[in-house]
A and B are shown apart, each in its own frame.
Chain A
Amino acid sequence: MSEIISIIKNHMGVGFVSVLFVMSLAYLIFAEKDKAKRCLFVHVPLILLAAFLCPISLKIYAKVSGSITYYRLLWLIPVTPVIAYAAVRVVSEIKGFKQNLCIAGLALLFAVSGRLIYTDIYMVDAVNIYHMPATVVDICDALHVEGREVKALVPDEMQQFVRQYDPCIHIPYGREYMMNMFLEEDELKNEMEGERRPYEVGILATQRGCHYIVVPWYQRFDTLPEYYEEYTIIDGYIIYKNVLLSTEVGKLQNDDL
């Protein structure tokens, strides 16, 4: 049960939308008489809530898909329609100019009860048609070789974007490591996150077939990584290029090793 409560708490998040929903539901339980509307706004939400709160539902769900997505059962409850419909019923009881005032007041209440999506810290201005950070676009364009795939070791902040923008650029380890989805150790990642010894990084990156290593300028290596040379600097990132691995079209990745 504690797991269900914590899922509900996470789903409720900030604000009072869940409180508004409960109040609207309580109001409609007493006020709504139409059979079909009562089914949609009262019976269905109550049955779904009861099912969601039942630990057996969680057990079954967790067996099939894992409990991490159990919150999706709450998507079945029509939260927004219930609140909006109850609000319309309330304002319908008021006549004349007061009704318009009441509508505006309720809209304001809804606004302060939730949070404007455009104020979210992860919501940023789009700087190009791809909605990708400009640095990622510039660096990927510099690494791209027409007609073949290349592999690049990129910093963590770029990992989620590189292959969205250019699937021809492979990376040695991806977002699954940032999310701790794998327990297996990755030597190259450990080295990059740990001591960042140029010799070891160069050897490991070459063994993994990385044609390029991209690091922020302020994290550049004191000496060149083994088998790598300085290639270029773009948008505050320094790119090292492997001297053994060919990026020529038609050559296999490790053919020069």
Chain B
Amino acid sequence: MTEGILITIALEILFPVLAGFIFALPEKEDTLPKSVFLAKAYTSGQIVLFALFQPLMVFAILKKMEFSRASRFYLIGSLVLIALMIVLMIIKMRDRIKSVLKSPFRKVSFWGILAFVSIAFMIVMSFFKTYMDGDDAYYVSTATQTASSDTMYLTDPYTGDASLFQYRYLLAPFPMWISMLSRFSGIRAVAMAHTFFPWSMMLLAFSVMYILAYELFDAKARKADIFMFFGSILIMFGDYSIYSPENFLLARSRQGKAALASFVIPFLTVLLFTAVKEFDKKKKLSLPKYLLIMLTGFAGALCSTLGGALCVALTCVFALCIMIRYRKLLTPVLMALCSMPCLAFMVLYILRR
């Protein structure tokens, strides 16, 4: 079990951080506190990993490939990609790595400590409390069925009977992510889904909020801490409705739609906000921004069939704001176009349902 937990931590933290390093490095002239850099690397890396997983898994499902084979391909492919990105970073971006290593950690105020305590409380509670949600009968059973039978979407998760492809679900194969974590860690899929996965989703969601706090208040650490404190209280007391993203994050984090509502969409919101800031300063966007917009769309499509479309809608709204505010056409159009490849999954769903 200890070995399984260590592998889970590696898959849920180390891999994403390594995959996201290249996207988190600050521009040459900028500085970035280490903690913000780590939060950016962690969240961007998870988006990259989700985005790679989506097309590969959908292809494997449609080809009725064995799950073990597909997940092995994915692991090898993502490891090679991470290695390539790190090599590229060391060769091309040595100065920027040095500037991050030299940068200090952020100072934390009293309100920052309180925010940290309330976030830690929510994470710890995810191990000791459980939310009885009926939808798990589909999503978690799909994950356990896959891990157990080595097949993907060939059985009805409710009953175990053989079933036809249900395009609504198989085009957003988030349960396969849980199955993959279970397969490589050796922890049973049901335990992975309910116990060893939710904390990482919460950590991702709060990392996104931490980045937003930094982007909003720049060097004013105290204000950022107060923002984090308010945010953590609003989330902890966010069970005002079963439809709120806060409810999904704290109660149903093993479901793809929870990942969409509490991590992917907030990540895209922050990404687009930083894009507006960058455009305001430089009147153009850097290549990694466009790339991340595209990858976030794929990550959204992994979480829910309409997740990709929601990501496209959000990008288009931000693009519209830039277009109206700055009276520029090229960058917002490029932003919108970059977000659109993920719509392929929705089109496939509409054609095959």
Contacts and interface: CB of A to CB of B under 8 A. Distances in A.
Contact of A64 (B133, B242, B350): B350
Nearest to B237: A114
A174 B159 contact: yes
Interface stretch (B17-25, B39-47, B85-93, B315-323): B315-323
A20 B1 CA distance: 45
Nearest to B242: A13
Nearest to A74: B243
A213 B197 CA distance: 33
Nearest to B215: A36
A120 B233 contact: no
Nearest to B148: A167
B130 A126 contact: yes
Interface string A142-181: 0000000101000000011101111111111111101100
Given A39-B273, A114-B237, A120-B251, A164 B156 contact: no
Nearest to B110: A100
Contact of B145 (A51, A161, A167): A167
A131 B194 contact: yes
Contacts of B265: 75-76
Contacts, number: 244
Contact of A47 (B145, B212, B304, B320): B320
Contacts of B127: 126
Given A12-B241, A13-B241, A171-B160, A36 B277 contact: yes
A15 B240 contact: yes
Contacts of A175: 134, 137-138, 158
Given A72-B257, A91-B226, A116-B237, A64 B306 contact: yes
A interface bracket (residues with beta carbon within 8 Å of B): 35 or more
Contacts of A14: 240-241
B247 interface: yes
B318 A44 contact: yes
B291 to A, nearest CB: 21
A92 interface: yes
A107 B111 CA distance: 11
Contacts of A10: 241, 243
Given A10-B241, A92-B223, A107-B229, A84 B234 contact: yes
B231 A174 contact: no
A107 B230 CA distance: 6
A13 B245 CA distance: 13
Interface residues of B, number: 84
B59 interface: no
A47 B314 CA distance: 10
B146 to A, nearest CB: 9
A257 interface: no
A12 B306 CA distance: 22
Task: Choose among B138, B240, B257, B261 the residue with the greatest number of A CB atoms under 10 Å from its CB.
Answer: B240
Given A88-B223, A117-B246, A175-B158, A103 B306 contact: no
Interface of A: 10-15, 17-18, 35-37, 39-40, 43-44, 47-48, 51, 64-65, 69, 71-76, 78-81, 83-85, 87-88, 91-92, 103, 106-107, 110-111, 113-120, 122-126, 129-132, 149, 151, 159-161, 163-176, 178-179
17 contacts: A36-B273, A36-B276, A44-B321, A72-B310, A75-B310, A76-B269, A80-B231, A81-B209, A81-B231, A103-B226, A103-B229, A107-B233, A114-B234, A163-B145, A164-B193, A165-B190, A170-B161
Interface of B: 111, 125, 127-134, 136-138, 140-141, 144-145, 148-149, 156-161, 188, 190-191, 193-195, 209, 212, 216-217, 223, 226-227, 229-231, 233-247, 250-251, 257, 260-261, 265-266, 269, 272-273, 276-277, 280, 304-306, 309-310, 313-314, 317-318, 320-322, 325, 346, 350
